[in-house]
Amino acid sequence: MKAAVQTNETAQQKTGVRVTESEAESSGTKTASSMKEASKQISGIKTTDRVRAASGQTAEMKEAVAQIETVVIKMDESDIDTDAVKQAGKILRQGGLAAFPTETVYGLGADALRAEASRKIYAAKGRPSDNPLIVHICCMQDLEKIVTDIPKTAKKLAEAFWPGPLTMILKKNDKVPYETTGGLDTVAVRMPANKIALALIRESGGYIAAPSANTSGRPSPTLAEHVYADMKGKIPVILDGGQTGVGIESSIIDLTEDIPMILRPGCITLDMIQNVIGQVRTDPGIIEEDSGCRPKAPGMKYKHYAPKADLFLVEGKSESVVKRINQLAVQCIKEGKKVGIIGTKETAEFYNNGIVMSIGGRQEEEVIAHNLYKILRDLDNYDVDIIYSESFSTPRMGQAVMNRLLKAAGHQVIEAV
């Protein structure tokens, strides 16, 4: 806490823009003037150090990353602050970073067609440079400008699901730098279904490279507050559009193979995709701990989505699960550990120890996905040492939710009998 406050003070002296931690934490509305200052930080002749700093190339530069002030601007999808979006678009066009809401999770954006801009994303997130970024577009005409060809399957899927939470892997052309694709000859593209995101993409020139706006390895952000917690001092602006709807990241499908392959499950499911384009495979590397093959999406091999606490999934019949979690919680408390429990509307009242969070009704899969990352972050804020979670293999989005939970838990599963 103290260090963060000091950082703000240093930044204040340097730039004259005052954003205290408590102000930004409460996501107070910021005026366009503080945004203009943020834009100046990026564009000003004397501030090239800051711009270079965001690429984090040296220890000294990394130090300077911590000096950027982060402005949070609240707006509603139905009432977009166009001035703020224009300013954020300008920051992106000048090669800077801006975080924004999508319908899935918040994204950390940079101009996808500029190598040095994409590089800043890796530095701000602490992301391995072999993990490619998703390019966000706002209209179909822009797709053909960055890929070598658009297969029929892509056209059909775009018609069915765009704008929406589906990412397609296609063959890139020379316009897309390898910094954006993690060295691959393919590029991931999606058109998000959030009006703030679409307006920002338009303002920024059409192509925003954006991973989820969390520090690498942390749960994806579903609120601007989550982005602020991870990115404060590293990026000039966060557009705050409230809590994201879907709550887990887009489904990813690779269309560069003979048979299209799902690389990451999401709310656009295998069945939904098959209904549109026929035969589809699922990458065996995405759900098993050790399927003997590497996941095709480089990002899926990393321990991901993880809370700070040690997370265990407890599987079995509902009654046995509740009984087992209660036993485990008592044991942990005896050992002096703080325990968090993720249950459901149906079971929450039966847990008698620890900090109990209900993720939603067992059958409400959209609600479970919507709440998942927020609950993991909320439990982190309670400083729990250990989390026991029920598992949620619901019929439609169950695979997507379980994929995230298993990764968050590092595949630590306890069978309740």
Give the footprint of Mg ion on this chain (CB under 5 A).
211-212
299 binds ligand TXA (CB under 6 A): yes
**Element housing 282 (H / E):** strand 281-282
Q: How far is the CB of 181 from ligand TXA (least distance, A)?
A: 5
87 binds ligand TXA (CB under 6 A): no
DSSP code string of 231-281: HTTT-SEEEE--S-SS-SPPEEEE-SSSS-EEEE--SS-HHHHHHHHS--E
Q: How far is the CB of 282 from ligand TXA (least distance, A)?
A: 14
Q: Which residue is nearest to ligand TXA (CB)?
A: 299
Among 8, 15, 87, 102, which residue sits at the site for ligand TXA (rule: CB under 6 A)?
102
239 binds ligand TXA (CB under 6 A): no
Binding partner at 131 among Mg ion, ligand TXA, none, C-beta below 5 to 8 Å by kind: ligand TXA
Among 250, 347, 399, 403, which residue sits at the site for ligand TXA (rule: CB under 6 A)?
250
**Tokens 């993690």 correspond to what residue?**
182
**Residues in 134-153 at the binding interface with ligand TXA, rule: CB under 6 A:** 134
CB nearer to Mg ion: pick between 17 and 213: 213
Among 12, 27, 131, 320, which residue sits at the site for ligand TXA (rule: CB under 6 A)?
131
- Amino acid type, 286: I
CB nearer to Mg ion: pick between 50 and 264: 264
169 binds ligand TXA (CB under 6 A): yes
Question: What residues have CB less than 8 Å from 336, skipping those under 6 apart?
Answer: none
Stretch that binds ligand TXA, among 73-81, 187-195, 311-319, 350-358 (CB under 6 A): 187-195
> How far is it, in rounded angstroms, from Cα 297 to Cα 345?
34
Binding partner at 181 among ligand TXA, Mg ion, none, C-beta below 5 to 8 Å by kind: ligand TXA
Say how many C-beta atoms besides its own lie within 10 A of residue 359's C-beta.
23
CA distances from residue 262 to 60, 157, 300 in whole angstroms, order as listed: 41, 13, 12
**Sign for the pseudo-dihedral over CA of 119, 143, 256, 264:** positive
Q: Write out the two tokens for 107.
A: 């994204």
Report residue 261: phi and psi, to 5°: -130, 130
Interacting residues with ligand TXA (CB under 6 A): 102, 104-105, 107, 131-134, 165, 167, 169, 181, 184, 186-188, 192, 210-212, 249-250, 252, 263, 296-300
